[in-house]
Structure 1
């Protein structure tokens, strides 16, 4: 974030603190920080003074501050699809009994904004608030496939193509070929590409003009189902995606900036 100056650096520090998922000491932050000790300390002090971070003098730890919590709640309410989609996700979860995910693109990555667990939950990476890769998840590929060419080029250039499983798509060429198929059939599949034993089908959430707002998926485990069983839910997932898209437009969902990958 060098081009964003001080604000970008401060945001990097905020993300670093939040990534620990617990109160964190200065020494721990310094170990993984790209900033010199004095600079890191200065950013932490400024963020604490502004209420973006909270400092516990007894434990000598930093954690997200209440001001940041208020801003996050406001962003979730105004820019996330989650409040609009909640009753639709509830209905889909009740009907299918499977795990349901709602996601949006955030800087070319997948941000899970809501989730409903299956009747018989299966342990998996995704949770609301977590960030995951776009190139090897159903929701990620469903969104990538429907981006405009310039946005897609940028998004693909920012993928790591790390191999998570033997089935992970690990090159731009293979990913682009899969995205063509996804666009043609209207839905994406994750065939154990991110996690062993986890499969899913996903549909994009689009505006009437075709702009990508997010994606919704149904996820299952290969221990108790195969793709033939999972794909029977595609029409239902598509209807849910269309309904969320229509609701979002009715509520004038924020257009967002193109350089944020058409996501909030």
Structure 2
């Protein structure tokens, strides 16, 4: 925390408080924020007042709770159009979903994690963690590994160091060495798998999305359950997946997407 404050000062502290409110997933009281925040009571209150005055937070006087403000909704819509692959990829996702009947995930890399920016549900939807707007681990998801495989040098080392390597299932890769070896295979093959590494019974095949100059700007996956398909059966959809990733990349070439962190 101290390092963040030193680097980012007041803005960094304010964003940390926004993160606390967002992570709560519901309106949250001052006492609960204080219990989680490293800031003294007076400092936390001052930041909350400023964020509320600026429309970044909303304060419910009756319930005495804080929630994210509508100004953030405007920012989110702007970011969706400027930095998200979703608007560009939408028609391609629709086509692939109709062809395969399976769940599709579109993701981008965000500070060591996977940010799911769009999703298409299967003809027979399956409950799973990934959903548009959610953040997930990179080291044990098909889309995360597909993007990391094309990182190099300092960017790759930073991404590897940002992984938690928690063991979600017996198939989860739990070390940077194991992940690094997997990434080399993925780069050679041009696609990745999730072999029940994040959730039991959930498997996927994923492909990176390249834009001009070979830069990877995202990834797309076809996801299903072991009750519906095996990995070998899922692999039969690989040509359609790779074509979809290529088509999205070509459409995105004219856009100026920011490089992922």
Counterpart secondary structure, 1:244: helix
Distance 1:186 1:81 in 2: 20
1:136 to partner: Cα distance: 0.4
Query: Which residue of structure 2 aligns with residue 37 of structure 1?
Result: 41
Query: Which residue of structure 1 aligns with residue 121 of structure 2?
Result: 117
Query: Which residue of structure 2 aligns with residue 184 of structure 1?
Result: 188
1:57 to partner: Cα distance: 0.6
Query: Which residue of structure 2 aligns with residue 23 of structure 1?
Result: 27
Query: Which residue of structure 2 aligns with residue 175 of structure 1?
Result: 179
Map 1:46-195 → 2, pairs under 5 A: 46-195=50-199
Tell me if structure 1 keeps the 8 A contact 2:217–2:257: no
1:36 to partner: Cα distance: 2.2
Q: Count the aligned residue pairs.
A: 257
1:249 to partner: Cα distance: 1.0
Counterpart secondary structure, 1:84: helix
Distance 2:136 2:247 in 1: 25
Gaps of 5+ in 1: none
1:37 to partner: Cα distance: 1.9
Gaps of 5+ in 2: none
1:254 to partner: Cα distance: 2.6
Counterpart secondary structure, 1:127: coil
Query: Which residue of structure 2 aligns with residue 232 of structure 1?
Result: 236
1:208 to partner: Cα distance: 3.0
